[in-house]
Structure 1
């Protein structure tokens, strides 16, 4: 037996109102039309679905069963319509955001949460990328926005603006060997066992590039892909680590010390692509500014 969804909706309204007249009114049907639909339902079901009385109607046991299942059918139909209908709404072109490893911890996630909630029809592709590659992609129009490092940006041929501090610090277990220290040089850090990021991470490559060939050799107890894992290992006392200040600041499990080396002081820049600056691109840039300004 095939059920018409409008007939099921009508039947539910009648049961809820206790009246065929009131149910018809909610469906914007005439009383004769609504009555004919109910009679057709009963004919196809082969049983009475309503008990009719002078004060209205009430469902029979079969009608109560039909009403319960009708609610489920209509709920599933609405979900189906919504799922399929989402493909008929043409979404805005997706945006491409490139950022270095340190920006991926805190800055970019905070900006994305706000942006994606505010722009449900706009998707964002995010890729980790070192500053030189990001600038080339932006200049070629292959990306919309980038978060780059000031001391690598130079004259990349794209518009940039200051976002905020991205200094590199040394971290250790709270109450450990860094206790009471406010700063130290990298050469002293390298005397201790370290926890590091994977050699292919953009932040690790940036650090090693700035250390230069004559930097003291470091002993890595282990290397990991994720800075949250790195922080957890340091907090457990496995070793010291080099990390972006914004990614670790406020973590009570850690002692955080500034590095005395000049290369450790750097800033994030917001870099614009050469493609059209759409309202969505401007909105994402605004979310990045807000995320960078957050404590």
Structure 2
């Protein structure tokens, strides 16, 4: 099966306009040439792609399937033109980086700032996802580099150590959780579930991770408030509005200026090591290998 880009663009224009004549004009083709191309596509597939009637044309079921794929191909072509156009403006590289919440909010900003200072012609797309989604995306070739927790299997990916990421509970000193804990510094996650939570807004990978473990215990987290940063979360925790589960690095930082207590959680899933991963380090472009080196240092 061989369709060229002109065929796909013509088919899109014909379906969108509902007319072979209009579609030919939008594609800058003579009507006879456009009609011949459409017949050739149908002959090649062995099925009709268009219903022709007095009012114009409509796609058949096969035509609607082709329409979907044609749109995807043309969108990819537009994206490619845009990416390549950036090279003419001095861009030398582009890296797709996926990471979990802790990496994005606690550990990566400083690393990325230092890397980008030394690599002004490299663009980095950073997207937050759950660790197991990151593994799948890297395996499928949908990203270049990922940062995951070692609580998920990395499969065939190559990995390097990045940071330790212990999750802890934080509460105000006068909150019922702190009172019940007394002098204890460690708690089980189950000890938290009777209280109201404060969490991250949006579809945060960390909140999904925590909620999933609550469901394993047969409970749902009760969120009183969702905010955009660990700083804002800790301020509301300090006010006594609720408790939260956040990375220990964040808790230790905010304890310096806020009246909050933190408790290490004893559940195995809360004691994590972050890994930087990719399909194969040697296959990455030099600028992407440089980013891996900066992350794993």
TM-score normalised by L of structure 2: 0.62
Q: Between Structure 1 and Structure 2, whose CA radius of gyration is higher?
A: 1
TM-score normalised by L of structure 1: 0.63
Deviation at 1:199, TM superposition (A): 6.5
Q: Provide the C-alpha distance between the structure 2 equivalents of 1:184 and 1:146, rounded to a whole number of angstroms.
A: 31
Q: Provide the C-alpha distance between the structure 1 equivalents of 2:192 and 2:218, rounded to a whole number of angstroms.
A: 11
TM-superposition CA deviations, 1:238-261 (whole Å, max 9, x none): 111111112222322121110122
Given candidates 272, 280, 284, the residue that maps to 2:287 is 280
Is this contact kept in 1: 2:169–2:265, CA < 8 A? yes
Is this contact kept in 2: 1:171–1:242, CA < 8 A? yes
Is this contact kept in 1: 2:95–2:125, CA < 8 A? yes
Deviation at 1:193, TM superposition (A): 2.3
SS across alignment from 1:248: helix
Deviation at 1:182, TM superposition (A): 0.5
Where does 1:138-217 land on structure 2 (aligned, <5 Å)? 138-152=138-152, 154-174=153-173, 176=175, 177-178=177-178, 180-198=183-201, 200-217=203-220
Q: Provide the C-alpha distance between the structure 2 equivalents of 1:246 and 1:279, rounded to a whole number of angstroms.
A: 31
CA-based RMSD of the aligned residues comes to 2.3
Is this contact kept in 1: 2:214–2:221, CA < 8 A? no
SS across alignment from 2:133: helix
TM-superposition CA deviations, 1:185-215 (whole Å, max 9, x none): 1222122222123472111111122334434
Moved more, 217-226 or 119-128: 217-226
Is this contact kept in 2: 1:169–1:245, CA < 8 A? yes
Where does 1:33-72 land on structure 2 (aligned, <5 Å)? none
Structure 1, unpaired ranges of 5+: 1-85, 291-295
Structure 2, unpaired ranges of 5+: 1-85
Where does 1:1-295 land on structure 2 (aligned, <5 Å)? 88-152=88-152, 154-174=153-173, 176=175, 177-178=177-178, 180-198=183-201, 200-252=203-255, 253=258, 254-274=260-280, 276-290=283-297
Equivalent residue pairs, number: 204
